[in-house]
Structure 1
Amino acid sequence: MSAAADTKAITPPDIRARKSKVPLVCLTAYTTPMAKLVDRHCDVVLVGDSVGMVLHGLPSTLGVTLDMMIMHGKAVRRGLERALLVVDMPFGSYEEGPEQAFRNAARLMAETDCAAVKLEGGESMAATIRFLTGRGIPVMAHVGLTPQAVNMFGGYRVQGRGEDADRIRREAVTVADAGAFSVVLEKVPEHLARQITAEIAIPTIGIGASPACDGQILVIDDMLGLFSAFRPKFVKRYADLGDQAEAAIAAYADEVRKRRFPAAEHVFADIPQAESVKGGEAA
């Protein structure tokens, strides 16, 4: 594969065409440095409203604003060359109706240069998804546990168990029929996610769902061990960077208090001015 082909930007139709093929690799990102790290490995990078919890210390995603999503979307855009950039529509920015959703989605796309937006909800969002996609805004849907509706669910509970399975299945079918190019299945029973993946024509992206999904997504801070407020069962930690960072900070604090930092190699010698300028720059 040529370098040009390797860096060709992925599009929503590319993601849709990956149905039942090599699984899609998806992660969240909220900053430019992190976006640069994930770009070469991921197919989709989501600027999730989880940013409110993992970076801003909010108790849930409900306090996240459109301006916050735009700020972080711009930052991530600067770090991506290849992966598809999707930005979450925050709570209150689309539920009122298709026209409100279009205004805010259009602003998100114009200001962040993202390729698609993600919104939560199934049957209640069908008209909105159809309205957006009919006007040139690709939509990634999200059913199952939808965190913006956490108060309705009474917490972050598994959705689709028992008789409730048919509701989740209908919602997935509905968003696919409405024009979404993919759908996130969050915190649903494994057998149900497997059934939905086999039934609908668009890729399913699992988070607490099934290995049979067409792709997987995790919150980057969760899988790197940087966010420890809670740890869902579906999160696998691939590193413990939080512990490593705390150890490094503790070592720094200890050296500062004992005057071991800065050492001789970290400070500047007092040398004659004539020797301190080389090539027009101060030495």
Structure 2
Amino acid sequence: MATLSPTMSAHPARGPIRRAVERFLSNIPAVVGLVVTLIIIGMSLTYQWWWIYSPNDIDLRAINQGPSVSHWMGSDGVGRDVMARLMQGGRISLLVAVVSMFISMFIGFIFGAVAGFSGRLVDGAAMRLVDLAMTLPPVIFLLVLASIAGTGVMPTILVISLLSWPVLARMVRARFLELRERDFVVAARGMGASLPHLLLRHGIPNCIDILVVYATLQIAAGILLEAGLSFLGLGIAPPEASWGNMLNAARSTRVLEAYPWQWMFPGALLVTSVLAINFIGDGLRDAFDPRSDLN
């Protein structure tokens, strides 16, 4: 009777998910980025329970007051607490980034999947539309869309979503062109499986690595795009707080020189958040890459 070697019995086979988690946890920058991101998310979502100020509370006695015991990060030009507005701005930025990520991921996945699983005519038409969207100058396209859609949370989500989906569509199409030649997909199509069945049963499970990495990196890009639009006055309009319009309000020379806390804290939190999420994205990309498993 065959017996297992001591090495095989002591080290049972690990599944792909477990190997991916172990690779991610061995990536120190990714783990640090995850911890920092969770701290920022937790503070943004719970600040109203542990901080005494609201983002639009005005204290006329604290106009342009520096960091103090009562206002840890100081106050702005109308007496609003900078820390409360930072936390509310983080909530708005994360909301815009996450919702726009889901919308752009849905559009990009559908376009790429239909192009990859359909015939040459549909594939060509879909890819020409993707090429058109990718060849438009992104900055000009962004400004035109923002000027048409207007300001506010929902218009900003719409603008970012319409700008971000073509890259994912190309990646998904490339994966599906490879996938449709696999025996199990050919067999499923031969048995009359519909396109929705192929997408749900075979497409999404085999694209999960692309979708997870894209989602993470797109959240970081969405935060930057929202901040840029709000800084230009085309995103989240005051008095609603966002990191971008906080930087816009502090862009005068007088504020830059005399009241640095009004731009330093929003800028630092914006950079820290984007870097942390990018580290997570890099860690996920390496974790889902089987070539990273050297064991």
TM range (shorter): under 0.3
- Whichever of the two has the greater Rg, that structure is 2
TM-score between both structures, scaled by the size of structure 2: 0.25
Q: Which has the higher contact order (CA 8 A, sep 6+)?
A: 2
Instruction: Judging by fraction of residues, say which structure has more helix.
Output: 2
